[in-house]
Structure 1
Amino acid sequence: MLLPTDLTRTTCVIGGAGFIGRAVVTELLNLGRQVVVIGRNAKPVEMPEEVYYVANPGGASTPIIKQVLEAVSEVIDLAYATSPQTSFQDPVNDILVNLPEAVQIFELAATMPHIRKFVWISSGGTVYGRTTASVINEQHSTMPISPYGITKLAIEKYARMYFETKQLPIVCVRPANAYGEWQRPYVGQGFVATAIASILDGRELTLFGEHGTIRDYVHVSDVASGIVGALLKGAPGEVYNLGSGTGLTNREVIEWLTPLANEAGFELHLRVQPPRAFDVPANVLDWQKLHLDTGWQPQVSFAEGIARTWEWFVARHATAISY
């Protein structure tokens, strides 16, 4: 297994082949970092050549993880095996496939004093639960109503324990709803991707409630730069929201997409269903703490981001390349 020899500017991205992970890897490479990606499958063809890629289907308990952590000075952990929607199908499985893995990584990293920073990616869209607040800051109560959110919050508590008891320099980041190029549709997470793919595939798109839910949509490139900002300048032991501070309903997202679809000759087939009990009505994040500590702020407007995302999906659709 080929790994970098220079610890000082080497970052390990666990889950770096995923949707957000790809963007994080690009951000790190642009900053001149050496990057080691740990993924469960073989190296994707789209992965940059200069990335050190380690396939590790066995999870956190394998010797490979220890070898990689010994060769890096920074860790960003994006790995997670479920989504908010799928977590309801088997809540016990949601715990078993996510919680032990995260704690094992924390336990191992805490034994390695050369690790300068560890960033664990939580979920700003699920850990807070129902709220009447128009914008949610990090001091807001956490009362998740999905197994996914409950497990994410539990892992945050373990992260805090390792910071307090073993001085693991860990930061937790709570992103809002990421969207953009490379997001997979039809997986129960990512309304923008599913809406676009449904239009292009001629599939019916379901809206739960007349307007759907209100969510804080952040382009994946901004999510990546925020995560890297937390890596470089975030304070160990802290939790940071990563959002835009602006909410859009599902119907408003559709209204942004409709003229793009019409111009390209596509139609939207929409079906409205009753609201679902497990959907949080509104979730919009206050990102000022991350801005104050790291200088980060979102750069991609929703107008620009939705246009870029639409164009990417259209290009893939035109060449019959899978999402």
Structure 2
Amino acid sequence: MNILLTGGAGFIGRWVAKQLLEDGHRVWILDDLSNGQTSNLDELRHYEGFMNFTEGTILDRGLLSDWFKTHQFDICYHLGASINVQDSIDDPETTFYNDTIGTFYLLEECRKHQTKMVFMSTCMVYDRCSDEKGITELHPAKPASPYAGAKVAAENMVLSYYYAYGLPVVIVRPFNTYGPFQKTGGEGGVVAIFIKNKLAGKKLSIYGDGKQTRDLLYVSDCARFVVKAGYSDQVNGEIVNAGLGRDISINDLAMLIMQDETKIEHVEHIHPQSEIAKLLCNYDKASNLLGWEPEVTLEEGIKKTEDWISKHYL
């Protein structure tokens, strides 16, 4: 198939690109490099299906129109977005334009060309989890940051194109994804930041009391899920979660990575109003409709990530 991948030079995007190329598709990647970097794609360029990488924005309607006309995409995997919660609180306008307006521009092209859209949303749209069965797709939403709000707005537009125009779409909500190629600085995920600090001989800093929990999904499992959602008509018009199905407190995660209590400290939270106290994924729907299950345990994933960071950052 001919596939457009937005945000393909980013952390998860790079893994989605790899999966699509391994499956034999022709892939065009669009990324404005605000989060991604071209070096993420270096080892993918030898694939026969790696058609093009362009540095550009989904807000460029002329570019989108030209690409859709020229390449006749079968699927658009839309991962391009502003993803930093604190940035969205400091500058909500940029996040709204990138995540909501940009999605609308892409939807218009998908509608004109009958291109399926896989829309990458986030578990951050959910309210806290209250039981051990985990968060299903029917769980209440609580957009506690402009990032989550922009994603909810975009989700509603995506679903409206399914109901109004019969456009094949699916919304995917992966839980906290981690692994190789994730940034280890302020915009990175907690696992990458903790591992980098450990390897650098620094203390691990935990925001707040550290009792907040996360459901951590290894990136290759996430990419497999996202790609499968594009292949299947079973999930058209649906919202689908993916996670490990196990949550861990940030305190326990820090101990798992550091193995030394004296090197862990608690600091004041930078955005307590947007913190979700408990995130635990129920992925029954992905299992039933896509036959998807996570394959990498948390312990295996942390080891793989630590091996990668030690090779690339030390």
> For the structure 1 residues 299 and 64, does the alpha-carbon distance in structure 2 shift closer, same or farther, using more than 3 Å as the test?
same
Match of 2:295 in 1: 299
Match of 1:128 in 2: 126
Distance 2:97 2:52 in 1: 26
- SS of 2:184 mapped into structure 1: coil
Match of 1:321 in 2: none
Deviations 1:155-179 (A, max 9, x none): 0000011111122211000010000
Residues 77 and 119, structure 2, Cα contact 8 Å, conserved in 1: yes
- SS of 1:110 mapped into structure 2: helix
Residues 85 and 189, structure 1, Cα contact 8 Å, conserved in 2: no
Match of 1:246 in 2: 246
Q: Where in structure 2 are the equivalents of 1:21-60 lying within 5 Å?
A: 21-41=13-33, 43-44=38-39, 46-49=42-45, 50=47, 51-60=50-59
Deviations 1:269-293 (A, max 9, x none): 4321355332111111111101111
Bigger Cα displacement from structure 2, 126-135 vs 156-165: 126-135
Distance 1:146 1:33 in 2: 36
- SS of 2:273 mapped into structure 1: coil
Match of 1:282 in 2: 278
Q: 1:236 and 2:236 equivalent? A: yes
Q: Where in structure 2 are the equivalents of 1:1-323 lying within 5 Å?
A: 9-41=1-33, 43-44=38-39, 46-49=42-45, 50=47, 51-70=50-69, 71=71, 72-113=73-114, 115=115, 117-124=116-123, 126-134=124-132, 135-233=134-232, 234-259=234-259, 269-274=263-268, 276-318=272-314
Match of 1:6 in 2: none
Letter in 2 for 1:317: Y
Letter in 2 for 1:271: E
Residues 204 and 254, structure 2, Cα contact 8 Å, conserved in 1: no
Deviation at 1:306, TM superposition (A): 0.5
Residues 43 and 55, structure 1, Cα contact 8 Å, conserved in 2: no
Deviation at 1:268, TM superposition (A): 7.5
Bigger Cα displacement from structure 2, 51-60 vs 29-38: 51-60
Instruction: Specify which structure has the higher proportion of helix.
Output: 2
> For the structure 1 residues 58 and 127, does the alpha-carbon distance in structure 2 shift closer, same or farther, using more than 3 Å as the test?
closer
- SS of 1:37 mapped into structure 2: strand
Letter in 2 for 1:291: S
In the alignment, structure 2 segments of 5+ residues that lack a partner are: none
Deviations 1:243-295 (A, max 9, x none): 11110111221222124xx8xxxx97432135533211111111110111110
Letter in 2 for 1:256: L
Deviation at 1:91, TM superposition (A): 2.3
Distance 1:247 1:144 in 2: 21
Normalising to structure 1: TM-score of the pair?
Answer: 0.87
Bigger Cα displacement from structure 2, 217-226 vs 20-29: 20-29
Distance 2:251 2:162 in 1: 42
Residues 5 and 78, structure 2, Cα contact 8 Å, conserved in 1: yes
Deviation at 1:47, TM superposition (A): 4.7
Distance 2:286 2:66 in 1: 32
Give the total of aligned pairs. 301
Letter in 2 for 1:46: D
Residues 199 and 268, structure 1, Cα contact 8 Å, conserved in 2: no
- SS of 1:55 mapped into structure 2: strand
Distance 2:192 2:262 in 1: 14
> For the structure 1 residues 93 and 258, does the alpha-carbon distance in structure 2 shift closer, same or farther, using more than 3 Å as the test?
same
Letter in 2 for 1:305: G
Distance 1:228 1:97 in 2: 22
Match of 1:3 in 2: none
Letter in 1 for 2:264: L
In the alignment, structure 1 segments of 5+ residues that lack a partner are: 1-8, 319-323
Distance 1:54 1:255 in 2: 40
Normalising to structure 2: TM-score of the pair?
Answer: 0.89
Bigger Cα displacement from structure 2, 12-21 vs 250-259: 250-259
Deviation at 1:56, TM superposition (A): 3.7
Residues 31 and 57, structure 2, Cα contact 8 Å, conserved in 1: no
